[in-house]
Amino acid sequence: MGLGRKGAEQKGRRTPNPGEKDLRKLAAQVARRTKKPLLKAEIALKAGRIVDRHKMAKHFQLAIEDGAFSWERKQASIERELQLDGIYVVRTSEPKNRLSAEDAVRDYKRLAEVEQAFRSLKSADLRVRPIRHRLADRVRAHLLLCMLAYYVQWHLKRAWEPLLFEEEDMQTIRKQRAPVASAEPSAEVQAKKVTHQTAKGLPVQSFTTLLRELGKRCRNTCLIVSDPSGNTFDQVTDMSPLQAEALRLLDL
C-alpha cells in the first residue's frame, strides 16, 4: 500500500470557497425581495444549483422558508474532510518484497503513460485509422498490430531521447525522486527548451519532426543519358548530421 499527496505544489495554500460567496449573494437577494418575497420552492431551486455546482451539499446546512434563507457550515464534516484533503491511498495485491509502497505510487502515477499510448495510436504519432472489423480474429489481429507499432515507437523514443524534448534516463530519475514530489524538469531538459539544441549542437526535435527528417533520405535510381545500354544504378543521398546521429543512436 502506498500513500501519496495531491496538489503538493500548492504547499497547503487554500483559496476562498466560491460556493460560500454564491450563498451570500443568494441570501442578500432573498433579503432584498421585500415587496414580492421569493417563495420557498424558488429559493430551494437556486440554492440547489449552487451546492450541486460546487459539490458542497454535505458541508452546509440550509434553512429555507418563504422570503427567508440562511445557511451555516457543518464544521464537523468539514474537519473530517480536511484530515484527508489532498491524500490518496494506492492499494495493491502485490507483496512488499515484489513492490514497495514507493514503487506502488510511482507505478500508479505512470497510468498517464497508458492514456498517452492510446492517444498515440489515434493521433499524429501512429495514425491508426479506423477500421471496422466484423470477425473476432481480425479484431485481435488489428489490436496486435497496433500494440506492436506502439512497442516500436516506445523503443524509438527511448533511443532518441538525446534528440527529443524528452527527459533522458527517465527510469533512473523516477527512482531517485520522491514518489509524492512534484515532477520538475532536469537542467538538461530546461537547456533543450531554451536553446532548442542538443548537447552536440543539433536542433532538438519532436518525434514527428524527427521521423519527417529521416524520411528525406532516399535512394535515387540514376540513368546515364549518354550510355546507349540504358543501364541504371542506385545512389543513396548523403546523410545530414541529424540523420546520422539518429541512426547512430539506433546502432544502425
Percent of the chain, pLDDT > 90? Answer: 31
Asked if pLDDT for residue 6 goes beyond 60, the answer is no
pLDDT at 234: 92
Write the pLDDT tens digit of every residue in 135-172: 999 989 988 988 898 899 889 999 999 999 887 777 77
pLDDT mean across residues, the chain: 84
Say whether pLDDT at 209 is over 80.
yes
Name the pTM for this structure: 0.56
Residue 124 is predicted with a pLDDT of 62
Instruction: Give the rounded percent of residues in the chain with a pLDDT score beyond 70.
Output: 92
pLDDT at 241: 94
Q: What ranges do the domains of the chain cover? A: 9-84, 101-181, 182-252
| pLDDT value at residue 108 | 85
The model's pLDDT over 121-130, given as tens digits with 9 standing for 90+, comes to: 777 667 777 7
Q: Stretch 166-186: mean pLDDT, rounded? A: 75
pLDDT of residue 28: 92
- 224, 231 in Cβ contact below 8 A? yes
Specify the higher pLDDT residue, 84 or 232.
Answer: 232
